[in-house]
Amino acid sequence: MGAGTFNSNDYNLDSDSTCNLIATNDLPGVDPLLGSLQNNGGSTFTHALQSGSPAIDAGDDGSAPATDQIGTARPQGSASDIGAFEVAAATPVPGLSQWGLIAMALALTSVFTWRTIRRRKLIRA
């Protein structure tokens, strides 16, 4: 088997530098931080990108497909992710202002009524 030539179109990731990536935005010799091959949704198994993966937001929006392998729209962050898996953006949790907290506290306030019954021992003569 002979050696071949690989021409990078940029935005590739190679975990062990064997691909001789030399384009400006290539990432040679870095751990992609991939999860296990599993069902992450969609019709095929994928390797999800773990938190902190250098592939996250490191792709080229101009050449990336509109969706990843499981159908997630690209990009979800500041740029497309490198590879077949796009990390979905976190859903923001709505916050409450000071006035919102006060209104919620007032809405949750309940009125309690109680009656005290005092019993006396009856003494008969």
Q: Residue 87: CB partners within 8 Å, gap ≥ 6?
A: 48, 49, 53, 56, 76, 77, 81
Q: How far is CA 90 from the centre of its chain?
A: 5
Q: What is the mean pLDDT of residues 33-56?
A: 96
Token pair in block for residue 123: 């003494």
| Residue bearing tokens 């009125």 | 111
Q: Please state the pTM of the whole predicted model.
A: 0.68
How far apart (Å, rounded) are the C-alpha atoms in residues 45 and 36? 9
Specify the range with the lowest mean pLDDT, choosing from 8-12, 13-17, 94-98.
94-98
Token pair in block for residue 21: 């990536």
Token pair in block for residue 75: 């990009």
Q: What is the pLDDT of residue 12?
A: 93
Contact between 85 and 49 (Cβ < 8 Å): yes
pLDDT value at 69 more than 90: yes
pLDDT value at 1 more than 60: no
